[in-house]
């Protein structure tokens, strides 16, 4: 009875896979192996692709690192953890051109930089970049200038 219920709920392609099986237990196990492995393998491949292609352009460092951490957490849950050295390389390669000097500094160190130190370094660089982009009133003295009102003698002549 359970076997017929399973078979009646399957698509024709899935039914073809299990049509020779005679028990509900073997049918269920066969479907589980086929679809669980396929889905998890594809999910892992997609997450690895996403991790290698995540870009920091247009994102804050916090958002960029959060996005990377989300992907690496999902990979770890899927049984494919990412080690810190690989994670550091991905961040250095994908953080974006605005941080090229910071990346060069991190790569030129005598000892390899840790993940936490790299994130702190990038956050500091981001603060400095933002501070340099804030316009100053002293840099633009005409910002507070208002012309003197005319007395109306020039009426379109």
Q: How far is CA 41 from CA 44, 50, 94, in A?
A: 5, 14, 25
1-29 pLDDT, tens digit each: 888 888 888 888 778 888 888 899 998 88
Nearest to 65 by CA among 118, 29, 10: 118
Q: Is residue 32 one of the residues assigned to a domain?
A: yes
Q: Is residue 122 one of the residues assigned to a domain?
A: yes
- pLDDT beyond 60 at 31: yes
Rounding to the nearest 10 degrees, give the CA dihedral for residues 98, 81, 39, 6: -150
Mean model confidence pLDDT for the chain: 86
90-127 pLDDT, tens digit each: 999 999 999 999 999 999 999 999 999 999 999 999 99
Our count of domains for the chain comes to 1
**Residues sharing a CB contact under 8 Å with residue 102, sequence separation 6 or more, in sequence order:** 95, 121, 122, 125
- What pTM was estimated for this model as a whole? 0.63
Domain that holds residue 109: 23-133
What pLDDT score was predicted for residue 155? Answer: 59
Q: Is residue 4 one of the residues assigned to a domain?
A: no
What pLDDT score was predicted for residue 2? Answer: 87
Q: Is residue 157 one of the residues assigned to a domain?
A: no
């Amino acid at each position: 009875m359970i076997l017929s219920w399973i078979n009646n709920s399957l698509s024709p392609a899935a039914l073809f896979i299990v049509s020779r099986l005679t028990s509900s237990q073997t049918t269920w196990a066969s479907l589980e192996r086929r679809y669980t492995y396929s889905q998890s393998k594809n999910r892992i491949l997609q997450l690895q692709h996403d991790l290698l292609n995540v870009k920091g352009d247009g994102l804050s460092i916090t958002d960029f690192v959060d996005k990377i951490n989300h992907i690496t957490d999902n990979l770890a849950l899927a049984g494919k953890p990412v080690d810190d050295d690989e994670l550091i390389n991905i961040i250095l390669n994908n953080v974006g051109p605005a941080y090229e000097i910071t990346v060069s500094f991190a790569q030129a160190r005598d000892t390899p930089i840790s993940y936490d130190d790299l994130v702190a370094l990038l956050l500091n660089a981001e603060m400095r970049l933002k501070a340099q982009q804030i316009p100053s009133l002293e840099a633009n003295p005409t910002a507070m200038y208002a012309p003197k009102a005319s007395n109306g003698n020039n009426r379109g002549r």
